[in-house]
Amino acid sequence: MTLRGHILLAVTPLLLLLLCLGGAGAALLLQLGQRSDAILRENYDSVRAMAGLNEALERIDSSYQFALAGQERDAREAHRANWVLYREQLGVEERNVTIFPEEQHLVAELQDLTIRYQAQGEAFYAHPARDRQRDYFGERGLLHTFAEIKRVAAAIHDINEEEMHNASRKAQDTARMSVIGFAFGLALSVVLAVTAVLWLQRTILGPIQAVTEAATAIGAGQLHLVVPVRGQDEVGRLAQAFNVMTEKLRGYRQSNTERLLHARLTAQATIDSFPDPVIVIDLFGRVEFANPAAQSLLGVPPPKDGEPLAVWHPPESLRQHVEDALRQQRPVLTKAFDEAATFRVDGEDRTYLPQVRPTRSPEGETLGAAVVLNDVTRFRLLDRLKSDWVATVSHELKTPLTSVRLAVHVLLEEVVGPLEPKQLELLVEARENTERLLKLIEQLLALAKLEEGEERLSIRPVDPADLLRAAADDALSRAEDKRLAVVIDDTPGLPPIAVDSVRLGRALDNLLDNAITYTEVGGKVTLSAKLIDDGRVRLTVSDTGIGIPAESLPHVFDRFFRVPGRDQMPGTGLGLAIVREIVIAHHGDIVCESEPGRGTTFHITLPRWEEGA
């Protein structure tokens, strides 16, 4: 049955009962009204008529007595007037005879007696006074008829009075019965209403409540729940729809869970397959993924199913990188060996370049960080071998080459004899090539020493302005040759910096050398120094030269790198690599900014001198 059917079924009997009660009430009221009306109409009028008739009769009788006393005139007058009243009252009674045969008989008797009394009265007044005593007191005379009429009128009065009492009693009975009937009907209505409410509760509210509770539980994630289906009404269909929806949700969750599990397994298998240590942590440093290499190298606790994620405490060499990635959302991508971290594995030192990247959701929300340690032990070894080899070869080449240079110089000075123009030309070219080769060898040796950390620095407090001045003085003659302005733009009162003035001077010389080489005639080279926010001092060498294309900028500090298309310019591609090594040896850093056609700027940031540091 539908919900509408249920409601109709519950309400209809109640409505019918109320209709019956209303109908019965109206009928009873009507009946009571009619009965009261009948009492008034039939009986009360008769009672009053008999009282009136009795009074008129008494006065008619008095008129005979007046006549007997000789008051003829007043007697006749009273006789005539009271007969009128008498007839009026008799007429009321005649029209008001009830259905009772007894009253009909009495009225008929009263009519007969009235005719007789009237005839006797008329005879009384027609007779002379001496006969009147007999007419009045005689056997079956006026007095006798008077008494008879009084008796019959009293009987009619009593019958009607009795009937009034009966009718009143009946009305009271009816009212009592009505009250009982209504009370019963009311009680029945209450019982019916309570039954209807209980039934509706069981058939409608109960199932709705069950569906609501199940829906709430399903909403809270208990997808295994099934909503009970009772009947095929609207609530039943709703419950069925809910069950279908839950079934689909279950399937969806199942497939989602499987997909997630699969994705997790794939991710784990992927990072497990890397030989390099890989660790993925959340924002609080808890380990989400860690491959076996990470577990064995760093002792990272692997995530276990059903257990809360363990927090990873990175080793000292990685702590800052991980913090930077998590707090500042900054990737830390190390490239040079001097940024490498060394760990001892199976009794041997292994070198790793840490790569720490913050991880983000597609919406840009930070999830944590991924740490990859690139094992560069082999490359470092190769690099050392190469440096050693270069150093050895350079060293071996330097001595003979120095003698060649000396020989060429001696020949060119014509100490051993005059030279032909052609010989002179060849020897000049040989001197230039020898100079270039020697410079290259010196640079290679310097670089190898710096890379190996063999160059012992003698760190002293140095006034930055002095450094800039010395570098400018060294470059002055070359700059003048090219008609370049060399300007020193230092800030007075700078704190001393902690540097080896010879080594740093060499670095500044290299930068100035490049600035002069790559700046057109008439340009300007500026040297400056200033204190920066973190308390360090920044030395800047900038020029108004040809600049460096954007794509070459990241490589200018690489060894042997030269900007393509500038082969006619002198150079080895080692100058900036040496500068960088010198700056790193001073625990400083160097950056290059350039705009092709407008100039290039190098900033070297160095720590200030601190007593006892």
The least distance separating ligand ADP from the CB of residue 398, rounded to whole angstroms, comes to: 19
How many Å separate Cα 557 from the centre of its chain?
Answer: 52
The least distance separating ligand ADP from the CB of residue 580, rounded to whole angstroms, comes to: 9
514 and 484 in contact (C-beta within 8 Å)? no
Q: Tell which one of 218, 515, 539, 604 touches ligand ADP (CB under 6 A).
A: 515
User: Coil, strand, or helix at residue 560?
Assistant: coil
Q: Please give the angle made by the CA atoms of 600, 496 and 606, to the nearest 5 degrees.
A: 40
The least distance separating ligand ADP from the CB of residue 601, rounded to whole angstroms, comes to: 9
Where b means 16+ CB within 10 Å and e means fewer, 64-74 reads bebbbeeeeee
Can residue 562 be called a binding residue for ligand ADP (CB under 6 A)? yes
Q: Tell which one of 89, 291, 540, 600 touches ligand ADP (CB under 6 A).
A: 600
The least distance separating ligand ADP from the CB of residue 292, rounded to whole angstroms, comes to: 42
Which range binds ligand ADP by CB under 6 A, 210-218, 316-324, 488-496, 568-576? 568-576
Pick the closer one to ligand ADP by CB: 190 or 336: 336
Which range binds ligand ADP by CB under 6 A, 89-97, 398-406, 496-504, 572-580? 572-580
Can residue 563 be called a binding residue for ligand ADP (CB under 6 A)? yes
Which range binds ligand ADP by CB under 6 A, 9-17, 174-182, 354-362, 559-567? 559-567
When computed from its CA atoms, the radius of gyration of the chain, rounded to whole angstroms, is 68
Can residue 451 be called a binding residue for ligand ADP (CB under 6 A)? no
Which range binds ligand ADP by CB under 6 A, 16-24, 213-221, 403-411, 574-582? 574-582
Number of Cβ atoms within 10 Å of the Cβ of 426: 14
Sign of CA dihedral 103, 104, 105, 106: positive
Q: What are phi and psi of 342, to 5 degrees?
A: -110, 130
Which of 371, 344, 367, 382 minimizes the C-alpha distance to 274?
371
Q: Tell which one of 573, 593, 607, 608 touches ligand ADP (CB under 6 A).
A: 573
Distance CA 580, CA 591 (A): 9
Pick the closer one to ligand ADP by CB: 72 or 520: 520
Can residue 576 be called a binding residue for ligand ADP (CB under 6 A)? yes
Can residue 516 be called a binding residue for ligand ADP (CB under 6 A)? no
The least distance separating ligand ADP from the CB of residue 397, rounded to whole angstroms, comes to: 19
Which range binds ligand ADP by CB under 6 A, 383-391, 395-403, 477-485, 561-569? 561-569
- The CA-atom distances, in angstroms, between 264 and each of 200, 249, 271, 272, 274 are 52, 22, 11, 12, 16
Distance CA 189, CA 245 (A): 43
Pick the closer one to ligand ADP by CB: 110 or 576: 576
Pick the closer one to ligand ADP by CB: 324 or 593: 593
The least distance separating ligand ADP from the CB of residue 564, rounded to whole angstroms, comes to: 9
Distance CA 199, CA 555 (A): 87
The least distance separating ligand ADP from the CB of residue 469, rounded to whole angstroms, comes to: 20
Q: Which residues contact 103 (CB under 8 A, 6 or more apart)?
A: 46, 97, 156, 159, 160
Q: Tell which one of 566, 593, 608, 609 touches ligand ADP (CB under 6 A).
A: 566
The least distance separating ligand ADP from the CB of residue 546, rounded to whole angstroms, comes to: 5
- The CA-atom distances, in angstroms, between 397 and each of 384, 429, 439, 442, 446 are 19, 19, 12, 10, 14
Can residue 524 be called a binding residue for ligand ADP (CB under 6 A)? no
The least distance separating ligand ADP from the CB of residue 586, rounded to whole angstroms, comes to: 18
Number of Cβ atoms within 10 Å of the Cβ of 226: 12
Which of 278, 270, 282 minimizes the C-alpha distance to 369?
282
The least distance separating ligand ADP from the CB of residue 506, rounded to whole angstroms, comes to: 12
Which of 174, 150, 146, 158 minimizes the C-alpha distance to 36?
174
One character per residue 159-188, x = contact with ligand ADP (rule: CB under 6 A): ------------------------------
- Please give the full DSSP string across 460-528, using - where no structure is assigned: EEE-HHHHHHHHHHHHHHHHHHTT-EEEEEEPTTPPPEEE-HHHHHHHHHHHHHHHHHTS-TT-EEEEE
Q: Please report, as residue ranges, which positions from 529 to 558 form the binding site for ligand ADP (by CB under 6 A).
A: 543, 545-548, 556
User: Coil, strand, or helix at residue 268?
Assistant: helix
Distance CA 607, CA 498 (A): 6
How many Å separate Cα 118 from the centre of its chain?
Answer: 111
The least distance separating ligand ADP from the CB of residue 389, rounded to whole angstroms, comes to: 21
| Torsion angle (degrees, nearest 10) of CA 333, 335, 337, 340 | 10
Pick the closer one to ligand ADP by CB: 486 or 548: 548
422's tokens: 């052609």
Which of 177, 130, 145 minimizes the C-alpha distance to 35?
177
Q: Tell which one of 96, 355, 514, 605 touches ligand ADP (CB under 6 A).
A: 514
Q: How far apart are the first and last CA of the chain?
A: 93
Pick the closer one to ligand ADP by CB: 324 or 474: 474
**Which residue do the tokens 């913050």 mark?**
358
Q: Please report, as residue ranges, which positions from 372 to 431 form the binding site for ligand ADP (by CB under 6 A).
A: none
Pick the closer one to ligand ADP by CB: 411 or 511: 511
How many residues bind ligand ADP (CB under 6 A)? The answer is: 21
324's tokens: 């930077």
Pick the closer one to ligand ADP by CB: 134 or 598: 598
Q: Please report, as residue ranges, which positions from 577 to 596 form the binding site for ligand ADP (by CB under 6 A).
A: 577
Pick the closer one to ligand ADP by CB: 468 or 576: 576
Pick the closer one to ligand ADP by CB: 136 or 518: 518
Q: Please give the angle made by the CA atoms of 582, 586 and 589, to the nearest 5 degrees.
A: 80
Q: Tell which one of 145, 334, 572, 605 touches ligand ADP (CB under 6 A).
A: 572
The least distance separating ligand ADP from the CB of residue 528, rounded to whole angstroms, comes to: 15
User: Coil, strand, or helix at residue 372?
Assistant: strand
The least distance separating ligand ADP from the CB of residue 590, rounded to whole angstroms, comes to: 12
Pick the closer one to ligand ADP by CB: 339 or 558: 558
The least distance separating ligand ADP from the CB of residue 595, rounded to whole angstroms, comes to: 11
Can residue 561 be called a binding residue for ligand ADP (CB under 6 A)? yes
Which of 429, 533, 520 minimizes the C-alpha distance to 482?
520
Residues that bind ligand ADP (CB under 6 A): 514-515, 518, 543, 545-548, 556, 561-563, 566, 571-577, 600
